[in-house]
C-alpha cells in the first residue's frame, strides 16, 4: 500500500488580509507557522513517516514543509521543489483585496474568476512588475509556458506533468510521500487522484495546515482517505 499526504500551507499574510495571492511570494503568519508545526505533530502521532517530500517554489509552502518536517524529526528527508506545484496564478487580481475587488467588479464576476472551472482572471503583461519573468527563480520557464493569469483548468493542466512524470514515479519507490503546496495546486492533485469531474472539483475546499492522507493500491486507486 502506498500513501500520499497532501498539506496546504499554513495561513499566509495575505490569507489574513483577504488578498488574492497567487504567485506573490508572501510568508506565513504566526498562526500559519503553528498550523505547520501542528500538522507535523499529527502526522507523527499517527505513526506515519514520509520518505520523500515535494513542494512549490513559494516560501509559504516551503516554510510549512520545513516546520512540519522539523516537528516530525524528518528534516533530512529529500525534497523536490517544482514550480508546477505553485498556486494558481491570479493575474491582475494578485495583491487586490477580495472584498474591494467584489465592490469594483461585482460579486458575480469575482465569483466566476474564483470558483469557475475554466474562466481565467485578467492576465498581466510582461511590463507588469508582478510578471514571473522578473523573478529569477522562473528564469528557466519558456515564455509560452509562463503563467500570466490562470483558470483552475489551466492550473490542473500545469500540475499534471509534475504529477505524472515526477510524483507518481517517486510513489513507486517510496511507501509514503508528502506534498506541501497550495489550495489550487492541491485541488489539481485531488482531481487526478480521485478522478473527479470539473463540477465536483470547483466546490472542493482544502483547509490550511490540515494533513490529508490518501492510501492507494498498486494501481494508484484511492482505497481510503482521511484528515489527520
Longest alpha-carbon distance in the chain: 50
> Is 165 a known active-site residue?
no
In a domain, 127, yes or no: no
pLDDT at 57 exceeding the cut of 90: yes
In a domain, 133, yes or no: no
Which domain range does residue 161 map to?
2-19+27-90+150-227
Output the pTM of the full model: 0.96
Query: Can you list the positions of beta strands (E) in the chain?
Result: 2-8, 52-55, 79-81, 176-181, 212-216, 222-227
Out of 35, 63, 87, 150, pick the active-site residue. 87
> Is 205 a known active-site residue?
no
The predicted-structure confidence for 66-85, as pLDDT tens digits, reads as follows 999 999 999 999 999 999 99
For strands 222-227 and 212-216, give the pairing. Answer: antiparallel
In a domain, 60, yes or no: yes
In a domain, 223, yes or no: yes
In a domain, 143, yes or no: no
In a domain, 115, yes or no: no
Question: What span, in angstroms and rounded, lies between the C-alpha atoms of 127 and 176?
Answer: 43
The predicted-structure confidence for 91-123, as pLDDT tens digits, reads as follows 999 999 998 888 888 989 988 888 899 999 999
Cβ atoms within 10 Å, residue 173: 10
Cell numbers standing for residue 137: 527563480
In a domain, 103, yes or no: no
Q: Taking residues 126-133, report their average pLDDT.
A: 94
In a domain, 195, yes or no: yes
The CATH number that applies at residue 204 is 3.40.50.1240
Count of domains forming the chain: 1
Q: Coil, helix or strand for 8?
A: strand
Amino acid at each position: 500500500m502506498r500513501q500520499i499526504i497532501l498539506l496546504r500551507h499554513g495561513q499566509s499574510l495575505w490569507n489574513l488580509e483577504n488578498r488574492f495571492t497567487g504567485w506573490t511570494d508572501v510568508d506565513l503568519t504566526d498562526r500559519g507557522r503553528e498550523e505547520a508545526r501542528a500538522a507535523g505533530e499529527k502526522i507523527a502521532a499517527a505513526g506515519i513517516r514520509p520518505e520523500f517530500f515535494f513542494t512549490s517554489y513559494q516560501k509559504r509552502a516551503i516554510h510549512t514543509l520545513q516546520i512540519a518536517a522539523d516537528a516530525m524529526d524528518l528534516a533530512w528527508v529529500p525534497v523536490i521543489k517544482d514550480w508546477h506545484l505553485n498556486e494558481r496564478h491570479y493575474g491582475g487580481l494578485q495583491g487586490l483585496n477580495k472584498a474591494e475587488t467584489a465592490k469594483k467588479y461585482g460579486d458575480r464576476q469575482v465569483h466566476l474568476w474564483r470558483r469557475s472551472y475554466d474562466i481565467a482572471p485578467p492576465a498581466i503583461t510582461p511590463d507588469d512588475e508582478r510578471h514571473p519573468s522578473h523573478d529569477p527563480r522562473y528564469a528557466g520557464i519558456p515564455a509560452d509556458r509562463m503563467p500570466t493569469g490562470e483558470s483552475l483548468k489551466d492550473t490542473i493542466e500545469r500540475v499534471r506533468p509534475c504529477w505524472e512524470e515526477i510524483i507518481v514515479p517517486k510513489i513507486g519507490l517510496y511507501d509514503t510521500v508528502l506534498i506541501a503546496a497550495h489550495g489550487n495546486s492541491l485541488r489539481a492533485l485531488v482531481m487526478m487522484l480521485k478522478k473527479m469531474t470539473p463540477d465536483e472539483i470547483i466546490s472542493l475546499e482544502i483547509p490550511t495546515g490540515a494533513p490529508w492522507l490518501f492510501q492507494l493500491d498498486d494501481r494508484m486507486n484511492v482505497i481510503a482517505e482521511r484528515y489527520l
